[in-house]
A and B are shown apart, each in its own frame.
Chain A
């Protein structure tokens, strides 16, 4: 399919094709899928331990208590993974999941830099800054 499309694209003389190098985009797409599959696998592994230990406890989410700090911060999550807690491993998978689109944006900076598109390098860095501020600035990194 891409081979059939290639001549048509070259026949377009005037517009810069978004991501002239489509390979970068394909690599980024695969990065996302890999990130999602890895995090799903980690969540699933955590789920097995969690269910094995807590299957018969009552489930109750009616009242909002907020998670304890071991599931709210990166260091807390790592601590609970080390002590082999299922919920900690699930939470690690969710952290990896959140990090996946952030990694994609970070790699996009490189992609635009290769294309020498300074405007979009700046835009992408701005998006990355917002994401990192949210991810690290909200107290998660404590």
Chain B
């Protein structure tokens, strides 16, 4: 393949991944690395570097829209970013030391878990939970606009959520993804944050988390300009388009299709990892 052909095909694939990721809320980054490694035979380290860069672009590009809606909680975001950025640094340093087949296996496991989470109904946080003393001291509790006006919420189990976010950051730094699935676990399940708040807050955290490991990747020579260019531009364009048509689109069946794709890619990554093909 010539560079022109490669660039055009990768840009189209990235565009579709960004569009589907944005429409389904599952994120496009998670399918990019397996697609690049399995179908384009890109070394997984280059693929992770390119994916990480595209994750920053989509997160930051969508932030302006989310901010206007008034759901995101900047204190929760900033507090948890301490955990995710530390985790991301650790993940990025680990990524340069562990064999690529191990990376592929971890990636496969994360894909299977993401497919599972995407099929499970998200548990909506119960209303009127008692305030947690630590969360109160950290001023994490907040409110957001609801049908009946402002709805307040009290954040629960801060240490559990914080530790899980460290893990989410480490996976993000290790695999070059946004690790939305682990963030959902931390913020919805452990901390009981209403999911309108957790989705938008986690989106705005993803860019900062990815930026923490991107410097390490770039300085190690994992970010190739020729590869990152079509990936970043394609994913960005796809996700911006996706966020515009989100309201009208029927996402239920799309979500099913996309989670099957994630499942298949996860199995393929496991297979390649175990048989040393990556």
Contacts and interface: CB of A to CB of B under 8 A. Distances in A.
Contacts of A134: 85, 88-89, 92, 211-216
Nearest to B237: A40
B221 A18 contact: no
A62 B5 contact: no
A78 interface: no
B257 interface: no
Interface of A: 1-2, 5, 8-9, 11-12, 15-19, 22, 25-26, 28-30, 32-33, 35-37, 39-40, 43-44, 46-47, 50-51, 54-59, 61-68, 71-73, 86-88, 90-91, 94-95, 97-102, 104-105, 108, 117, 119-120, 123-124, 126-127, 130-131, 133-136, 138-140
Nearest to A61: B42
Nearest to A133: B89
Given A18-B74, A33-B64, A123-B82, A101 B42 contact: no
B219 A140 contact: yes
Nearest to B223: A94
B150 A9 contact: yes
Given A94-B225, A138-B219, A32 B207 contact: yes
A57 B60 contact: no
A100 B215 contact: no
B232 A94 contact: yes
A43 B219 CA distance: 18
B60 A35 contact: yes
A94 B43 contact: no
B119 interface: no
Interface stretch (B139-147, B179-187, B246-254): B139-147
Interface in B69-106: 70, 72-76, 78-79, 81-82, 85-86, 88-89, 92
Interface of B: 1-7, 40-43, 45-46, 53, 56-57, 59-61, 63-68, 70, 72-76, 78-79, 81-82, 85-86, 88-89, 92, 138-139, 141-143, 145, 149-150, 152, 207-208, 210-216, 218-230, 232-233, 236
10 contacts: A36-B57, A47-B230, A47-B233, A56-B2, A67-B224, A90-B228, A94-B218, A94-B228, A102-B211, A131-B215
Given A51-B4, A97-B232, A140-B215, A18 B225 contact: no
A58 B1 contact: yes
Given A29-B64, A108-B78, A59 B56 contact: no
A28 B67 contact: yes
Nearest to A26: B67
Contacts, number: 233
A22 B56 CA distance: 23
A26 B166 CA distance: 28
B71 to A, nearest CB: 11
A123 B78 contact: yes
B32 to A, nearest CB: 13
B3 A55 contact: yes
B202 to A, nearest CB: 14
A87 B78 contact: no
Given A33-B60, A40-B233, A57 B41 contact: no
B78 A59 contact: no
Given A8-B150, A43-B229, A127-B82, A62 B42 contact: yes
Contact of B78 (A12, A22, A120): A120
A71 B216 CA distance: 13
A77 to B, nearest CB: 9
> Would you list the 7 A-B pairs with minimal beta carbon distance, nearest first?
A66-B221, A29-B67, A59-B6, A67-B221, A29-B64, A90-B225, A135-B215
